[in-house]
Amino acid sequence: MLERMNRSHKSENDWGLDLLHINPKTILDIGCGGGATIQNLLKRYPEAQIVGVDFSEVAVELSTKLNKDAINKGQVKILKATLENLPFKNDSFDLVLSINTYFFWDDFITGLEAIKKVLKNNGTMLLLGDSYKGVDLTEDVQEINRNYQLKLKSPEEFKSALKKLGFKDIIIKTKEKEQWIAAIAKK
């Protein structure tokens, strides 16, 4: 499943990462899954130090295998961790991203607070989702949402939550045809 997700989410990841106009030196990928996003980040930011975390041991193993060369060079670390218990000091990362995870979080605000905590001042966060509330979802996406009880948020809910937590320079982009959403903000 993770290998399929690596392939099927590439266009979405490219779209979201193309929205960023930054040059981060330290990056955290929360919910790194199969590790394809980390490879994409390595190509875009070849000088960056990248950490990927996932709560799934299977995901950590696959991501580690896929990014073995960068790990051996000391540029990438893959750790087993949850969003609620990130093993990092405050203000550690220039960029924190989480792709296709927000709708699994137990609490949206708590998840955003965890991101903000490890994000450096003026650092950038990117949340990317392959579905969101308020768009006409295809029948297969609706079925996935029902089966996994995904907690979809609307663009307005993203913006409101980010404002409430004191994020600035908030940008919410959608690609309705694809049913994608990107939330970008600075700490």
- What residue numbers bound the domain in which 101 lies? 2-12+24-186
pLDDT tens digits for range 102-137: 999 999 999 999 999 999 999 999 999 988 888 777
Tell me whether residue 19 is in a domain.
no
Instruction: Report the CATH number that the domain containing residue 66 is assigned in CATH.
Output: 3.40.50.150
Q: How many domains does the chain have?
A: 1
Q: Which two tokens stand for residue 115?
A: 């991101």
For 75, the 3-state DSSP assignment is coil
- For residue 6, the model assigns a pLDDT of 47
Tell me whether residue 17 is in a domain.
no
pLDDT tens digits for range 160-177: 999 999 999 999 999 978
Token look-up 């989410």 returns 9
- Residue 148's pLDDT band, with cuts at 50, 70 and 90, is confident
Q: Residue 41's closest CA among 72, 18, 69?
A: 18
Kindly report the pTM of this predicted structure.
Answer: 0.93
Q: What are phi and psi of 156, to 5 degrees?
A: -65, -40
